[in-house]
Structure 1
Amino acid sequence: MIYRLLAMNIDGTILHDKQKLNKSVKEAVEYVQSREVIVTLVTSRNFVFAKRIAKALKLDSLLVTHHGAYISQNNDEPSFVRRINDETVNDIVQFLENYHTHIRIVNEKLSVSNVPPKQKRLSRTVIDPNSFSAYHHQFVNKVSDYLFSEQVHPTHIEVVFHNQADVAEAKLALQNMFYEVNINQFGNQLIILPRGISKLTGLLYLCDQLKISLKETVVIGSGLDDKEMIEAAGLGVAMGNAPKSVKDAADWVTRSNNEHGVAYMVKEHFRKQQPLSFLEKMNIIKK
């Protein structure tokens, strides 16, 4: 099979555990681009952070960010965006505040969350320490009070429960109350997305824009939210540090993010694939 697109997760995949980008990943991306394969990122991270990583990797493709809810190539205008409407957000937040939770509502410009336990209230906006860019986190005492005076237009909501027993109960209640959203559970965390949105739908959108079939994609991921993409891709690759269920869904399990797993996989596989222009010239593939 000839592959035209390489899609990679960020956390636990191209970043090692100290949140640094390995030089080996940059070399691997340059190598696969020399084969004329398009490289992109598919991530739960905000667009500002993903764009910074893309710049370091010299990527100029559309980036699938915010769990698939925000797809863009530049900071000015998204190619695709799906949001949770403000009334639904208000109702969800008010419901969640009945539990002992840390709530974070997110869009492409900022996020707003209640003050984490054991921290003093931060009334100012702070720069994301991981992105070194103008993506802002606003900490407030009560998210619903903030929403009463401000509109955020979020792409998604992230909720961490401090009592594990509350998670399933809250998830079931939210599913029964709000048809407009998808509720995804990962341990004691819920990710609330607009209905029909996921990393896979983001990848499908990208494939449609590029006129590439899903069978012509390679996906490398490490998180539970990557599993669906890995199963659907032409070649699904799990990092060595991925959970067992993600590895079981993959066609290939590479080394961990701390052991240069992306570089190892890319060079092992793509050394066997000639540049696409050569394959087209030889009539091995169609233009």
Structure 2
Amino acid sequence: MIYRMLAINIDGTLLQSNGKLHKSTREAIEYVQQKGIYVTLVTSRTFPSAKKIAKALKINNNLITHRGAYIAKEISRPVHSSRIKDTVTYDIVRLLEGFPCQIRLVHEHFSLANKYKLNHNLLSKTVFTTGDPIVYSQQFVDSIGDAIADESANPINIEVYFEFKEDLKDIQEAISKMYHEVECVPINDLRMDLVPTGVSKLTGLLYLAERLGIKRNEIVTIGDDMDDMEMIQASGLGVAMGNAPFEVKRAADWITRSQNQHGVAYVVKEHFRKQPQIEFLRKLNIIK
């Protein structure tokens, strides 16, 4: 099989557990791009955060960010974006403000959050790790509802960090019944993301592939998390990291080494080594 696209998750896949890129990973991405493979990142991170990683890897292609809701090469010129309507955003925020939780409206240029202080020390340390304060503005207000009452807010997604897991379950049930415009994506027992209906890493990947004229069986996808599982299953070659949960590994065609054992570099070495350059295959009329 000839593969024309490589789609890679960031956290737990490209990055080691210390948050750094290994030299072998950089070299692997450079190698596969020299073969003419279209490399993209598929992540729940914000666009500015993903763009910083892409720049370090010398990837100058469209990136699938915000869990598939925002696809762009440059932040000012998205090829696709999905947003939550301002009226729905306002109603949901007012509902959430009745519970002890931290709320974050996420846009491509900035985030808007309430000043609620979480009592869970471990969880509070993880809040806002996806944004890069150097390139991504994070604004805090006493009440998000008051802040957006007279100014429309069309976030790409809403992140909610709860104090109690029972509240997450109640809110998820209520929103699922009241608003068909959004979907609830539980991240763990205390965190939930709200995304526009139909948005996922898979839909974002398929949108970009279709735009490029690439078939899904020509895609290699590498991921490690539960929200990577759909695109791993749908791709021509779905690869699970060695550090992925059992369910993700079971859904994959191939299991590579862990993030700290340079799993991405290992995949590239094993599956792209024998594939000729894409331009060479075009000259032979093997592909168009």
> Do they superpose with TM above 0.5?
yes
Supply the RMSD in Å over aligned alpha carbons. Answer: 1.9
Question: Which amino acid in the other structure matches residue 2 of structure 2?
Answer: I
The match for 1:122 is: none
Q: Does 1:134 align with 2:129?
A: no
1:228 corresponds to which of 230, 235, 242: 230
The match for 1:84 is: 84
The match for 1:195 is: 197
The match for 2:270 is: 268
Q: Deviations over 1:70-115 (max 9, x none)?
A: 1111122111111101110011111112222221110101111222
Identify unmatched segments of 5+ residues in structure 1: 120-126
CA contact (8 A) 1:128 1:135 kept: no
Partners of 1:132 and 1:180 lie apart in 2 by 30
> How many pairs align?
279
Partners of 2:187 and 2:52 lie apart in 1 by 26
Partners of 1:273 and 1:107 lie apart in 2 by 39
The match for 2:210 is: 208
Question: Which amino acid in the other structure matches residue 77 of structure 2?
Answer: E
CA contact (8 A) 2:257 2:263 kept: yes
Q: Shift of the alpha carbon at 1:25?
A: 1.4
Secondary structure of residue in 2 paired with 1:227: helix
- Equivalent positions of 1:94-173 (< 5 A) are 94-115=94-115, 116-117=117-118, 131=132, 133-173=134-174
Q: Does 1:16 align with 2:16?
A: yes
The match for 2:220 is: 218
Secondary structure of residue in 2 paired with 1:79: strand
Q: Shift of the alpha carbon at 1:131?
A: 3.2
CA contact (8 A) 1:128 1:136 kept: no
Partners of 1:176 and 1:130 lie apart in 2 by 31
Partners of 1:134 and 1:140 lie apart in 2 by 20
CA contact (8 A) 1:186 1:224 kept: no
The match for 1:65 is: 65
Secondary structure of residue in 2 paired with 1:246: helix
With 176-185 and 136-145 compared, the bigger mean Cα shift is at: 136-145
CA contact (8 A) 2:101 2:118 kept: no
The match for 1:185 is: 186
Q: Deviations over 1:142-184 (max 9, x none)?
A: 2222222443320001112221222222111101000111111
Q: Deviations over 1:177-226 (max 9, x none)?
A: 00111111222221111111111111011011100011100111111111
Partners of 2:21 and 2:133 lie apart in 1 by 14
Q: Shift of the alpha carbon at 1:22?
A: 1.7
The match for 2:53 is: 53
The match for 2:41 is: 41
Q: Shift of the alpha carbon at 1:245?
A: 1.2
Identify unmatched segments of 5+ residues in structure 2: 121-127
